[in-house]
Amino acid sequence: MTKMIGQRAIASLLSLLGLMILVFFLSRLTGDPAVLFLPIDATEEMKQQFRALHGLDLPLIEQFARYVWDLLHFDFGESLRKARPAIDVVLEAYAWTLPLALITMGLVITTAIVLGSLAAFNVGGFFDRLVSIVSLVGASAPDFWIAIVAIVVFSIGLGWVPTSGVGTPLHWVLPIAVLFIRPFGLVVQVVRGSMLSALGAPYVKTARAKGVKNLPLIFVHTLRNGMLPVITVIGDQAAALLNGAVIVETIFGFPGVGKLMIDSILQRDFNVVLAAIMVTAVAIFIMNILIDLAYGLLDPRIRH
């Protein structure tokens, strides 16, 4: 198990290096920050001074070498837009995204595992069909469409919740609800399929023959053995939420890392873009390693 974790960590570092190279050079293709940040009547001399101040007048290879050297010293550079350390700007955005992701995934995991397990136990029945239809619709509907419809119906039409912002708990309702739908649909489908396989195993038949009641049979005897594929899907969906839920955060004006990435790309704030992507990548790599550890806890064969 330790060897496998070490191999995954090395592979993650190599992937991180490749991602850093790709994003650094692609971000430079978005345009010249001097044109955006300086007044429209700025002279060429003023633009040259701006580029020299931020090291943008150097050859790309030299800019990249400086960036890597600073990164090795945990220096992500300064935000061009806010004149503050880029990592501080990113971490402030994550302070909004993390609670949003944790609340959403907590609701997804709880409801999807319970409903998916009960649907598998009552396969072919009304409850199974209802859960299957709802989960398929949820997994198929695009987030941006759900977000727009939710704003039109619940904010503009009924006036129950605000359209954007984070001032009160009501501001969180629509972003959480919209982000909940797709992961819920996907996880329910995987839980149902995995539990159907587990419920047909010989040990389940033995437990039934011994008179084990339905709920302990589902959630004690069967669920653990059906969780391996479920953990994989949960990890993927959690990574997507950690990635900032870019579209949903932008639509609802939620000041998380997804909206920060979009704003920083449009404003050519290179250091913030790179810092946001690097922090997100590290968080996803750590999550993948935690998923591997969870595999080992659930299945002793993996540990050996």
Buried b (16+ CB within 10 A) or exposed e, 222-242: bbebbbeebbebbbbbbbbbb
Q: CB atoms < 10 A from the CB of 292, how many?
A: 17
Residue from 71, 80, 74 nearest 30 by CA: 80
- Per-residue model confidence (pLDDT) at position 145: 86
Q: What is the pTM of this model?
A: 0.76
**Please, which residues bridge with residue 78 across strands?**
85
Dist. CA 116–CA 127, nearest whole Å: 10
The domains found in the chain, sorted by start residue, are 92-269 (1.10.3720.10)
Where would I find the H helices in the chain? 2-27, 33-37, 44-53, 60-72, 86-121, 126-140, 143-150, 169-199, 202-209, 214-216, 228-242, 246-251, 257-266, 270-298, 300-303
- Can you say whether residue 84 is alpha, beta or left, with left for phi > 0 and alpha for psi between -120 and 50 degrees? beta
Where would I find the H helices in 152-256? 169-199, 202-209, 214-216, 228-242, 246-251
- Integer distance in angstroms from the first to the last C-alpha of the chain? 7
Residue 278 one-letter amino acid: M
**Which tokens belong to 44?**
């060429």
Q: Please identify which residue in the block is written with the tokens 């609800």.
A: 177
User: Tens of pLDDT along the chain (304 residues)?
Assistant: 666 667 777 777 787 788 778 877 777 776 667 766 666 667 777 777 777 777 777 777 888 888 888 777 787 878 877 778 888 888 888 888 888 888 998 999 889 888 888 888 877 788 888 988 888 888 888 888 888 888 888 888 888 888 877 778 888 888 898 889 888 988 898 888 888 777 777 777 777 777 767 666 666 667 677 777 788 888 878 877 776 577 788 888 888 888 888 888 777 777 888 888 888 888 888 877 777 777 767 666 665 5
